[in-house]
Amino acid sequence: MNLEKVDKSRFEPKRPGSQDIAWCPGCGNFGIRNILITALAELGLNPNEVAIISGIGQAAKMPHYIKANGYHTLHGRAIPIATGVKTANPELTVIAEGGDGDMYAEGGNHLLHAIRRNPDITVLIHDNQIYGLTKGQASPTTMKGIKTPTQPWGVFEEPFNVIALAIALDASFVARTFMGYFRESVEIIKKAIEHKGLAIVDIFHPCVSFNKVNTYAWYREHTYWMDDHDSYDREAAFKRAIETDPLPLGVFYINEKPTFEELVPAYKRDKTPLWKREPKVEEIRKILDIKRRL
Amino acid sequence: MVEFREDLSVVLGGAAGQGIQTVEEILTRTLKFSGYNVYANKEYMSRVRGGINTTEIRVSSKRVRAFVKKIDILIPFKRGVLPWVKDRISESTVVIGEKENVEEEFLEKIHFIEVPLTKMALDVGSQLYLNTIAAGIVVGIFRGEFSAVEEYLKERFGSKGENVVQKNIEAAKKGYELGLKLLKEGTVKVEVQRKEKVRDEILLSGAEAVALGALAGGMNFLSFYPMSPSTGVAVFAAQHAEDFEIVVEQVEDEISAINMALGAWYAGARAMVTTSGGGFALMTEALSLAGMAENPIVIHLAQRPGPATGLPTRTMQGDLNLVLHAGHGDFPRIILAPGNIEEAFYMSAEAFNLADRYQVPVIILTDQYLVDTYYNLPELELDKVKVEKHIVEAKPGYRRYELTEDGISPRAIPGYGEDVVVANGNEHDEWGDITEDAELTVRMQEKRAIRKLETIRKNAPLPRLIGGEDAKYIIVAWGSTLHIVEEAIEKLGRDDVALLHFSWLYPLNPEAKKFFEGKTIIAVELNVTGQFAELLRKELGVEVHHRVLKYDGRAFSVEEVLDAINGVVE
Ligand SMILES: Cc1ncc(C[n+]2csc(CCOP(=O)(O)OP(=O)(O)O)c2C)c(N)n1
Ligand code: SF4
């Protein structure tokens, strides 16, 4: 495909409310939007085939700034909702999107169980290592020592290492990128979307308003690309996952396994999305007949 | 000699793990198959072994569907059962069992028929057969069809091997012959008419009815986290998931359960969650999301006493206020409370049409009493269930939250039509994008909380009046107490007392007011404050004059309600 020629405009929303973008000027969220739109367009998808389910936070406003089916839901709940969407209609390309607070704090439990359940959805975490929308409190990925209005003594909790955690749980696809690297990020997100099974992509992005430590320059200086890494080697992936400085970027781990939708009884014989189905009255009659006998 | 006619209450009591449930199953199925009307309900402790559980089985010439306090025949499987049910024992109670299981002080007060259950069981090969022997005795006393017992045991234990089946049949046979002998000797005399028609009727529990109703209504997605007493619905659905080709998923918590179901509805599925009060409490956040995003959802809530973990395996009508007020902000909801097993079926089916049509949470409020009740019913008319889908295509320019006269915006789903569907839990414009516009906020609030609510309200069905329109006294009941109150009024035998039963609880159609004018109103509720009486005041301005309340975690009995009504009417 000639990538220069791909028409991204079909993902540009023209709705009145989508024109007033609520992100701060200079925020990394703009870059992620551009990356996502590019990835979707390059994959040849259409807006009505895609559903973006977000939680709450600055990152979670994405469904309003892209033309695609969207559901802006509750803090931490994007993953179960996205799972429901995908399971009801496996023909859709489903993306769950939110910030690090959204996905790792409030939604942490759902993330763990989504890894076990393995629905074929892509989870994009805008990881700015801070809470944006609520104005700069520490998030689960805020680094130790950083002072915030609500941690004036400096964060002393261990930051959450989602990459190591996901590999430990034998997740299906685990990657990390920094939105400052456009082309690489597009490729990673395309791979994640194309991957069959739960794909987790932790996306570093600066919060210019509240995170004065993890800036564009900081991410460039403290990350590197894993060029010589075998993503199918779990042990090697885990070793990379626990490196801290510099932080590796790229696809850490791929583990191909059946998805949730493939295993639920609903789709074993019949792939029709649930909305097209009718109740099986004959099966009810059968049960009632058994209840008539003994 | 003791003689029983027309309507008997047989109670079996023992420890959890002693197989009371198996006895309940053998008896309800085989006695129904033998042509008797049956009804069963159990009460049990929240423990897996030990304690005392009892099950009441009514066997009757006519239809019976309500819990009675009286015990005609009692079979205790352990010591402690008689003290546990002492209020229910009278001089005509026949106790069948072993002496060591009957406390001294009761021997004088009852008819005791000593039966060496343990020895009989050991003769067959193990103590384990004690419950099957007891079941056999009861079937014998009713001259039930032994072939039905045999067939049931084959089905029930078939997977455990031929030997287990044969031993159980042998045990049941021993009991059965003993039962016949008691009849022949004239120790007991039982006269209950059988009806050929009953044999082919359906024996169903409340939990099964909810699950089957949901399936008939098109449920194709069920997410849940186990919690008594709601789990039976999930068990039933899971066991039939392959045949129905549906999604049944036990998730990490109730928060996930409801959110998944919301996602499923958003994408066009018909989804349900099944839970109890404590689980529903966790779902409250997502209930608000459903309200704001106008996302349909069906919630089955089987009530048990609260607050908190309360009495996990007992019953109460104590969560009406919870489902009425749960969630922050104003948004409409529909609350249904089936009165019996048939209604549990039809209402569970209809709940999906309602959720789809109005795009609101629809809550099916049952309770432990109803989900654990069984009786035979003639038929469920599947043709009566209509699946109405209210999904439109997303045509170009589609607006998910289009402002309309009746407050209902046509709902499209992702992937059907050219355009996209944007749903939102934040305040939004007609397209679904975030807004903070004051004027638009007002219109959206009014759309959801006033116009849509009014549309639902005026279409709400009226309560059912059982009895004369000119009755002086109106007994108000809701949900699962229907037949208990009905039977109490029947026994009362006065035509100036009528029953007004609500199974559609909210929102109330203002026309319902007409039933109350000029009457003395008595509310019968299984909770400590009279939650429904309060709702009547709030919604209709109706003042209830007397409240008959029970809140010990046990169901009302017909006798209790009868006494209470007697105490109020002149
Ligand atoms: C249940 C609930 N708790 C708290 C909040 C307040 N809240 C909104 S966004 C947010 C955190 C946002 O941080 P993050 O998820 O990292 O996203 P960002 O804004 O940085 O993109 C919080 C705590 C909420 N909306 N809902
Ligand atoms: S608060 Fe931070 S993350 Fe949010 S939009 Fe502003 S800069 Fe971006």
| Domain range list for chain A | 22-265
CB contact under 8 A, A110 and B269: no
SS (H, E, C) A221-287: HCEEECCCCCCCCHHHHHHHHCCCCCEEEEEEEECCCCCHHHHCHHHCCCCCCHHHCCCCHHHHHHH
Q: Which of B220, B297, B346, B430 best probes binding to A when mutated, by most A CB atoms within 10 angstroms? A: B220
Pairing state between β A69-72 and B422-424: parallel
CB contact under 8 A, B267 and A287: no
SS (H, E, C) B274-289: EECHHHHHHHHHHHHH
Chain A partners within 8 Å of B266 (Cβ): 71, 81, 84-85, 88
Chain A partners within 8 Å of B257 (Cβ): 80
Cβ within 8 Å of B, A 240-269: 264-269
A270 to chain B, any CB pair closer than 8 A? The answer is yes
Q: What percent of chain A has pLDDT over 90?
A: 97
Q: Which of A11, A54, A62, A74 best probes binding to B when mutated, by most B CB atoms within 10 angstroms? A: A74
A160 lines ligand 1 (CB under 6 A): no
The rounded Å distance from CA A224 to ligand 2 centre is 24
Peptide bond into B307 cis (omega under 30): yes
Q: Taking a C-beta distance cutoff of 8 angstroms, is the pair B77, B130 a contact?
A: yes
Burial code (b: 16+ CB inside 10 Å, e: under 16) for B19-47 equals bbbbbbbbbbbbbbbbbbbbbbbbbbeee
Closest CA relative to residue B505, chosen from B351, B315, B294, B329? B351
**Amino acid letter, B193:** Q
Ligand 2, atom 5, lies closest to the CA of A23
Distance CA A196, CA A122 (A): 9
CB contact under 8 A, A294 and B151: yes
Q: What is the pLDDT of residues A186-225, one digit of tens each?
A: 999 999 999 999 999 999 999 999 999 999 999 999 999 9
- Tell me B543's DSSP state: P
Closest CA relative to residue B478, chosen from B532, B539, B424? B532
Q: How many CB atoms lie within 10 A of CB B310?
A: 18
Distance CA A116, CA A131 (A): 27
Chain A partners within 8 Å of B414 (Cβ): 48, 51, 69, 85, 89, 92
CB contact under 8 A, B424 and A291: no
CB contact under 8 A, B420 and A17: no
Element housing A177 (H / E): strand A173-178
Q: Which of B266, B282, B384, B385 best probes binding to A when mutated, by most A CB atoms within 10 angstroms? A: B266
Residue A53 has pLDDT above 70, yes or no: yes
| Closest residue on chain B to A285 (Cα) | B382
Chain A partners within 8 Å of B147 (Cβ): none
Q: Which of A284, A286, A288 best probes binding to B when mutated, by most B CB atoms within 10 angstroms? A: A284
CB contact under 8 A, A283 and B434: no
Q: Taking a C-beta distance cutoff of 8 angstroms, is the pair B447, B358 a contact?
A: no
The rounded Å distance from CA A142 to ligand 2 centre is 15
Please report the pLDDT score of residue B100 as a whole number: 94
The rounded Å distance from CA B433 to ligand 2 centre is 19
CB contact under 8 A, A109 and B252: yes
Q: B204 φ, ψ to 5°? A: -140, 150
- The closest ligand to the CA of A21 turns out to be 2
Atom of ligand 1 nearest to the CA of A98: 15
Ligand 1, atom 3, lies closest to the CA of A75
- The alpha carbon of residue A173 is apart from the nearest alpha carbon of chain B, in Å, by 21
Distance linking the first and last C-alpha atoms of chain A:
64
| Closest residue on chain A to B428 (Cα) | A17
Query: What 3-state class would DSSP assign to B298?
Result: strand
- Tell me A101's DSSP state: I
Give the total residue count for chain A: 294
Distance CA A158, CA A101 (A): 15
CB contact under 8 A, A22 and B434: yes
Q: What is the pLDDT of residues A246-292, one digit of tens each?
A: 999 999 999 999 999 999 999 999 999 999 999 999 999 999 999 99
- The alpha carbon of residue B537 is apart from the nearest alpha carbon of chain A, in Å, by 35
Q: How many CB atoms lie within 10 A of CB B81?
A: 26
With bands split at pLDDT 50, 70 and 90, how would you rate the model's confidence at A4? low
Q: Which long-range contacts (CB under 8 A, 24 or more apart) does B556-559 make?
A: B556/B67, B556/B481, B556/B484, B556/B485, B556/B524, B556/B526, B557/B67, B557/B68, B557/B69, B557/B484, B558/B66, B558/B67, B558/B68, B558/B69, B558/B484, B558/B487, B558/B488, B558/B491, B559/B68, B559/B69, B559/B70, B559/B488
Give residue for tokens 């959204």: A102
Over its length of 570 residues, how does chain B's per-residue pLDDT go in tens digits? Answer: 788 889 999 999 999 988 899 999 999 999 999 999 999 999 999 988 889 999 999 999 999 999 999 999 999 999 999 999 999 999 999 999 999 999 999 998 999 999 999 999 999 999 999 999 999 999 999 999 999 999 999 999 999 999 999 999 999 999 999 999 999 999 899 999 999 999 999 999 999 999 999 999 999 999 999 999 999 999 999 999 999 999 999 999 999 999 999 999 999 999 999 999 999 999 999 999 999 999 999 999 999 999 999 999 999 999 999 999 999 999 999 999 999 999 999 999 999 999 999 999 999 999 999 999 999 999 999 999 999 999 999 999 999 999 999 999 999 999 999 999 999 999 999 999 999 999 999 999 999 999 999 999 999 999 999 999 999 999 999 999 999 999 999 999 999 999 999 999 999 999 999 999 999 999 999 999 999 999 999 999 999 999 999 999 999 999 999 999 999 997
Distance CA B336, CA B507 (A): 10
Distance CA B267, CA A121 (A): 14
Query: What 3-state class would DSSP assign to B222?
Result: strand
Residues 6+ apart with CB under 8 A from B526: B315, B316, B317, B318, B367, B369, B481, B549, B550, B551, B555, B556
Distance CA A56, CA A18 (A): 17
Cα A247-A253-A258 angle, rounded to 5 deg:
150
Pocket test for ligand 1, best of A131, A205, A207, A208 (most atoms within 8 A of CB): A131
Closest CA relative to residue B341, chosen from A281, A293, A288, A279? A288
Query: What 3-state class would DSSP assign to B297?
Result: strand
CB contact under 8 A, B420 and A67: yes
| Closest residue on chain A to B259 (Cα) | A81
The rounded Å distance from CA A148 to ligand 2 centre is 15
Give the total residue count for chain B: 570
A139 lines ligand 1 (CB under 6 A): yes
Residue A3 has pLDDT above 70, yes or no: no
The rounded Å distance from CA A106 to ligand 1 centre is 8
The rounded Å distance from CA A58 to ligand 2 centre is 6
Closest CA relative to residue A174, chosen from A107, A114, A264, A261? A114
A93 lines ligand 1 (CB under 6 A): no
Atom of ligand 1 nearest to the CA of A59: 21
Chain A partners within 8 Å of B420 (Cβ): 47-48, 67-70
| Closest residue on chain A to B236 (Cα) | A287
Compute CA B431 distance to the chain's CA centroid, rounded to the nearest angstrom.
41
The rounded Å distance from CA B335 to ligand 1 centre is 32
CB contact under 8 A, A77 and B286: yes
Q: Which residues on neighbouring strands pair with residue A95, listed in sequence order? A: A52, A122
Kindly give the residue spans of alpha helices, DSSP state H, lying in A43-196: 78-88, 100, 108-117, 162-168, 182-194
Distance linking the first and last C-alpha atoms of chain B:
39
| Closest residue on chain A to B251 (Cα) | A113
| Closest residue on chain A to B388 (Cα) | A278
CB contact under 8 A, A275 and B248: no
Give residue for tokens 């993890």: A214
Whether complex ipTM tops 0.95: yes
Give residue for tokens 């499209």: B412
- The alpha carbon of residue A12 is apart from the nearest alpha carbon of chain B, in Å, by 12
Superfamily holding A22-265: Thiamin diphosphate (ThDP)-binding fold, Pyr/PP domains (3.40.50.970)
Closest CA relative to residue B37, chosen from B231, B242, B160, B201? B201
CA distances from residue B159 to A126, A285, B146, B170 in whole angstroms, order as listed: 53, 25, 21, 18
Q: What is the dihedral of CA B161, B162, B166, B167, to 10 degrees?
A: -40
A102 lines ligand 1 (CB under 6 A): yes
* CB-nearest partner of A266 from B245, B267, B435: B245
Query: What 3-state class would DSSP assign to B269?
Result: coil
Closest CA relative to residue B505, chosen from B318, B331, B337? B337
With bands split at pLDDT 50, 70 and 90, how would you rate the model's confidence at A110? very high
Cα B219-B221-B222 angle, rounded to 5 deg:
100
Distance CA A178, CA A225 (A): 10
Closest CA relative to residue B74, chosen from B59, B54, B60? B54
Q: Walk across the sheet containing B73-76 and list its strands.
A: B111-114, B94-97, B73-76, B7-16, B50-60, B37-43, B374-377, B202-205
